[in-house]
Amino acid sequence: MAKRAILYIDLLGVQKLWASGGADEVRHRLVEFNEFITDQITFLSADLHREGDYTVVLAGDSVSVICEDFRQAIGIGTHLFTQAFYDTKKRDRPLWFRGAIGGWHNQYLTVNTKPITARGIHVGTQYQMENDYLGVLALEKSGFKGMRLLVSRRVIDDRDPEYQRDWPCPDSENSLGIVTRLHECTYPEDEYADVLWMADAEQHYRNLKKIMASRFKKATFDPDELVQAAWTRAVFDQVDSLIWSVQSSPRVAAAVASSSFNTPTGSSPVIRADGADDASSSLDSSSAENSERATQDLAVADLAEPPATSRDSTHER
């Protein structure tokens, strides 16, 4: 089958390990990441696995998954991000990801090879990155923070039923869109939105919120990790507001969604008046307060076990 989408996920924090721990620490971290990815890929649900019709390119501290379509890319990304949270209690340093999804034009691999010759003799190999790969890499490196997964709303319809969840209010016409532009988060361009990977299923969302408190507490010992944790927690807080809007009356839900958070395709997205730097400094300055909140959360909630649900793609493995 032709491939139309690419999922790119980067493991955060490796660059700092080169200075703090050297090659041994980096090697250990890469082994952890690689083993996690190869293990979790085997547990994809049938509707995502599709008889193996996807290509995984795992290289060091990043992984690319070339997919049939955007639904598969979003599903696999949601699975990997969710399982990284459930993996928290298994290691001292949790896995923090940042991801992006882009279009693909049916190339076989993200990087192709070309021989290097000198005087008619083959002396080496040149590695050439595909343009689509560079595009999704540029999106992931564009400066947004937190454990977030971005996608362009030009390539998908965020109102498609595939990207709606009725779990906040199953007896209502209101639904929760899991591809959403968040008011309190920064984006490289107006076209991009977050994949709300934590909100794919209600039981998982409740557990992941508790795990977020545990991860935040661990992050207080590392300033760089704390910034990522703070932005991730900000996403969870905004998802709570979205859930409230879905569960409210249609008039309230429409007002909250249009004025603060969820912007339908084709309309002007709501953007903060202040820039990314102001938002980042605001989060940094409140890290002590957030840390105290996280510690208090832990006092009333143990690290959650994932529930047994029908969504195989988000079971703990």
User: What residue spans define the domains of the chain?
Assistant: 5-314
Burial level of 154, CB count in 10 A (0-12/13-18/19+)? exposed
What's residue 249's pLDDT? 56
Is a pLDDT exceeding 70 seen at residue 280?
no
What's residue 250's pLDDT? 60
Question: Per-residue pLDDT tens for 41-79?
Answer: 999 999 999 999 999 999 999 999 999 999 999 999 999
Single pTM value for the model? 0.80
What's residue 170's pLDDT? 82
Listed range (164-168, 198-202, 255-259) with the worst mean pLDDT:
255-259
Mean pLDDT of the 162-188 span: 90
* Alpha-helical segments (H) within 174-286: 202-219, 223-247, 250-259, 276-285
Question: Per-residue pLDDT tens for 243-266?
Answer: 998 888 565 555 655 554 444 444
Is a pLDDT exceeding 80 seen at residue 40?
yes
Is a pLDDT exceeding 50 seen at residue 270?
no
Q: Please report where in the chains the tokens 């689509």 appear, as a residue.
A: 132
Give the H/E segment covering residue 30. helix 22-41
Specify whether the CB–CB gap between 9 and 80 falls below 8 A.
yes
How far is Cα 142 from Cα 80, in angstroms, rounded to an integer?
A: 21
Among the listed residues 86, 84, 66, the one whose alpha carbon sits nearest the alpha carbon of residue 3: 66
Listed range (149-158, 204-213, 299-308) with the worst mean pLDDT:
299-308
Q: Is 68 helix (H, G, I), strand (E, B) or coil?
A: coil
299 vs 13, more confident = 13
Give the H/E segment covering residue 66. strand 62-67
What's residue 140's pLDDT? 98
Is a pLDDT exceeding 70 seen at residue 230?
yes
Mean pLDDT of the 111-135 span: 96
Is a pLDDT exceeding 90 seen at residue 212?
yes
Mean pLDDT of the chain: 84
Is a pLDDT exceeding 80 seen at residue 229?
yes
Strands 97-103 and 149-152: parallel
At 214, the pLDDT band (50, 70, 90 cuts) reads very high
What's residue 258's pLDDT? 58
